[in-house]
Amino acid sequence: MRKQFKSISILSVLMLIFMFSFYGKFLTSPNSYLIDSEGDAMKNYYTYQHLIKNNSGIIEFEGMNYPYSENFMYTDCHPIQATFLKLINTYIPIVSDYTIGLLNFFMIVSILITAIIIFLIFIELKVNKWFAILSAIGITILSPQIFRLSGHWALSYSFAIPIIVYLLLGFEKRKSIKYLIYIFVSILILFFTHGYLGMITSLVALSFVGIDMVFSLFTNQLKTKFSSHLKLGLASGLPVLLFFIFMKIIDFHSGRTTNPWGIYEHHAEFENAFLPFLQLNDYLSNLTTLKLTQPWEGMSYIGVVGIIGLVLFLFKSRKNKIINKFENNFLIKLLLGSIIILCVAILLPFGLWEILIEKISLIKQFRAIGRFAWVFYFVANIVAVYGIHLVLLKLKGKGKLIIVNSLVVILPLLMVVEGVRYHAYLASIRKTDINVFDLKQTNNVFQTSIKSIDKDEYQAIIMLPYFYVGSDNYGKQSNDELSKLSFMFSYHLNLPMFNSYLTRTSIEESKNIIQLMSSNFYPKVIETDIKNDKPFLIVCHHELLSENEELLISRSHKLSSNEVYSLYEVTKQDLFHNTVKDEIIAYKEVRDSLVLKDNFLVSDSGLYFSHINFNQPDSPEFCESGCYTNMQSGYSKLLLINGADLSQGETYVARFWMYNEGENNGQDAFNGMAFFEKDKKGIKEWIFPITSMQNTQEINGDWNLVEVVLSDIDITTNYQLLLKGDDKAKMSYYIDEVVFYDQRLIIYKEFDTYLFKNGHRISMPK
């Protein structure tokens, strides 16, 4: 690298000019801004910063998922970097005041690091220096990983794949043990930066080993190269094994989903690698309303120069029969390996991958499998530049220096022109904000709120409207403003929150935390898991609250309020106050005024309702009186309603109980959607909004109460209540007791063990 100091200096100057034009303030004032402050971006800043400054330990992240916490490796917090900075902060506490700036600075500088490493690869391949400098810049600017600067911070390090390629090239050239050590350490560090980076780079090296073994087999060198293959295979594969062993040892949370959603949705497509969707959409928008769509996770467009150069390389290698040259041999193996990885990212052949995915749950853990297409982007462009280099050498040998010098500049410039569109697009969509983790930079209203609260008086925060994102089985989505406010309060008060914005959380823990917002006449498992008796701080954003959230506020003491949010305090006793007796008393007070209709007591016999209590002799034993059961993959028809029986202008509610237990804590038991379909003279249409059944917050033991609302009644049509799960689902739904009623109506019925109230089952006191 010392020999290339001058070239690297030139490259660095050119790259810095480009970087300052798009990311200047993050280089000059990195601690003053957040590159993006919405969604995953804000969460990933929060988990990183909270772990460094507030966490009492390292392994268990304490900021969310109260009272259970979460393993830090599942929080996307830059685990190894955050751990290192936390250790430094232990002895130099002021460090945590600048760690947001350090993260911003390193993410942006990593763009320069990528260009330098790609340049060094080209030098190893004996590419002309100027062409190497400019091509390294072009490949870096066009890198699809730049889009990760919209929030997936730990995935933004585009030097990850090039550094493994560089080390592989070094090992193949020199067979030095130090390169094996570098490969092993690099992959391991990348695993503890982000699991995807570790697995992707491990596959780069392992695929190269596999292809090299096939080459050796056909050239009768398999035995002589066995030692080299074994060493490189161990250096590439051991980090995977060590990572998963480490995760098995330190993860104390049981019941994580083995079937995360997304692998069939987040794979790459062939056109991801060869069609520039941003550029084409710019062009198409001037001609038509047509838009080109591609899976975002699979973005890996190699560029015009990449496509041309790849063709030239393959043509030159075949025509001139120079495949035995070291550089060509290395690049062909690397390219074949990247094509295999691209096929993995595209799920080709699909039939084989579908079998593997359904049989091996580990594969599903990498649900955004389209990201593996990044390998093909880098390898294809490295190979392409080398292929163009061969053509330039031939032209130079013929004395066509003007053409050569022109192409040395024009071709990389074309990469830059295509890549600039990425950075401009990113700048247009990101929501840059002040560094809200520095209290001094927040507004006066928020500072006043923080200073008015004695955090030692509370044990945790409840954010309303309530949200929980995590298990793929239970949850309720948040909006950006709500989640951002929750992170700010949690961080600055150093208080954990029940709410979560995570992935793959324990299904059982998620169920218990979601149940916090269930009606208070249902027993809540989480109450026994909270050992602290301190009250809770409620941060209520001024949005529409659910009925149960409104009831929680009514049991709380108001502390302060402003235009954006209000603060409340609720005691543990009031939070978990069981209202069964209150409900029984309320029922007895109105019982005599109710009217008997179809064996139920109702508040108005003129208002519509229907009730179905399934009684099938072959129902599973957990159903008290029999269940409706059907495969999730099909359409389940629970209810048929004649519109002529309803009243225009009124709103109706359907409720039904769905079984939530079973294998793996009831994994996927109620994943799917519930909705009404109207059928008018044979024309069928779904009615929105559609209910996601996993969002229900009414949980009573092994059952969830799902609610679907019907309004804008048309008395000339018929309505059906339908359920639909994933087309690939292998499970069945188990449904009990469907009730459909005019929302103005109150419906009661006494059973031996419970009181029925508008679909709810309120246990009768013994």
Residue 319 clears pLDDT 80, i.e. is over it: no
Q: Give the mean pLDDT of the chain.
A: 93
The predicted structure's pLDDT at residue 619: 52
- Alpha helical stretches, state H, 251-320: 270-274, 277-285, 303-319
H/E/C letters for each residue in 166-215? HHHHHHHHHCCHHHHHHHHHHHHHHHCCCHHHHHHHHHHHHHHHHHHHHH
The predicted structure's pLDDT at residue 682: 86
The predicted structure's pLDDT at residue 323: 47
Identity of the amino acid at 60: E
Sequence-distant (≥ 6) Cβ neighbours of residue 521 within 8 angstroms: 578, 579, 580, 582, 583, 760, 762, 763
244 pLDDT band, cuts 50/70/90, is very high
The predicted structure's pLDDT at residue 178: 97
Q: Distance of alpha carbon 573 from its chain centroid, rounded?
A: 36
Contact 604, 650 (CB under 8 A): no
Task: Tell me which DSSP letter residue 73 carries.
Answer: G
* Tokens read off for 257: 């989903």
pLDDT (tens digit per residue) in 163-217:
999 999 999 999 999 999 999 999 999 999 999 999 999 999 999 999 999 999 9
Residue 1 clears pLDDT 80, i.e. is over it: no
Residue 492 clears pLDDT 50, i.e. is over it: yes
The predicted structure's pLDDT at residue 286: 56
Give the mean pLDDT of 397-425: 94
Sequence-distant (≥ 6) Cβ neighbours of residue 679 within 8 angstroms: 717, 718, 719, 720
The predicted structure's pLDDT at residue 618: 53
Contact 371, 143 (CB under 8 A): no
Q: How far apart are CA 66 and CA 77, in angstroms?
A: 18
Least confident of 220-224, 232-236, 640-644: 220-224
Least confident of 95-104, 613-622, 746-755: 613-622
The predicted structure's pLDDT at residue 623: 65
Q: How far apart are CA 209 and CA 337, in angstroms?
A: 9
276 pLDDT band, cuts 50/70/90, is confident
Helix (H) or strand (E) holding 698: strand 698-700
The predicted structure's pLDDT at residue 292: 64
C-alpha atoms less than 13 angstroms from C-alpha of 746 in its C-beta half-sphere: 10
The predicted structure's pLDDT at residue 320: 57
The predicted structure's pLDDT at residue 40: 95
Sequence-distant (≥ 6) Cβ neighbours of residue 418 within 8 angstroms: 142, 276, 279, 301, 303, 304
CATH topology for 608-744 is: Jelly Rolls (2.60.120)
Q: Distance of alpha carbon 281 from its chain centroid, rounded?
A: 26
The residues spanned by each domain of the chain are: 155-253, 266-397, 439-575, 608-744
Give the mean pLDDT of 660-684: 90
Q: Distance of alpha carbon 156 from its chain centroid, rounded?
A: 14
Contact 50, 163 (CB under 8 A): no
The predicted structure's pLDDT at residue 314: 87
Residue 616 clears pLDDT 60, i.e. is over it: no
Give the mean pLDDT of 475-484: 94
Least confident of 260-269, 450-459, 625-634: 625-634
Between CA 67 and CA 74, with CA 68 as vertex, the angle to 5 degrees is 135
What does the longest C-alpha to C-alpha distance in the chain come to? Answer: 106
Least confident of 317-321, 394-398, 670-674: 317-321
* Tokens read off for 11: 């490259």
Would you call 572 exposed, middle or buried from its count of C-beta atoms within 10 A (0-12, 13-18, 19+)?
A: middle
C-alpha atoms less than 13 angstroms from C-alpha of 152 in its C-beta half-sphere: 17
* Tokens read off for 682: 């044979």
Classify the phi-psi angles of 682: left when phi > 0, otherwise alpha if psi is within -120 to 50, otherwise beta: left
The predicted structure's pLDDT at residue 670: 86
Sequence-distant (≥ 6) Cβ neighbours of residue 715 within 8 angstroms: 643, 644, 646, 647, 648
Q: How far apart are CA 498 and CA 489, in angstroms?
A: 13
**CA 344 to each of CA 144, 276, 296, 384, 469: distance values in angstroms, whole numbers, following the listed order:** 18, 21, 16, 22, 28
Contact 539, 588 (CB under 8 A): no
707 pLDDT band, cuts 50/70/90, is very high
Would you call 188 exposed, middle or buried from its count of C-beta atoms within 10 A (0-12, 13-18, 19+)?
A: buried
The predicted structure's pLDDT at residue 294: 76
Residue 430 clears pLDDT 70, i.e. is over it: yes
The pTM is what?
A: 0.94
Contact 193, 157 (CB under 8 A): yes
* Tokens read off for 640: 């048929």
188 backbone dihedrals φ, ψ, rounded to 5°? -65, -45
The predicted structure's pLDDT at residue 282: 62
Q: How far apart are CA 160 and CA 650, in angstroms?
A: 59
Give the mean pLDDT of 156-163: 98
pLDDT (tens digit per residue) in 280-318:
666 555 555 555 667 889 999 999 999 999 999 988 777
Higher pLDDT, 618 or 180: 180
Sequence-distant (≥ 6) Cβ neighbours of residue 116 within 8 angstroms: 8, 11, 12, 136
pLDDT (tens digit per residue) in 321-368:
554 578 889 999 999 999 999 999 999 987 788 888 888 888 888 999
**Cα dihedral 586, 592, 597, 602 sign:** negative
Bridge-based pairing of strands 500-501 and 536-541 is unpaired
Higher pLDDT, 621 or 65: 65
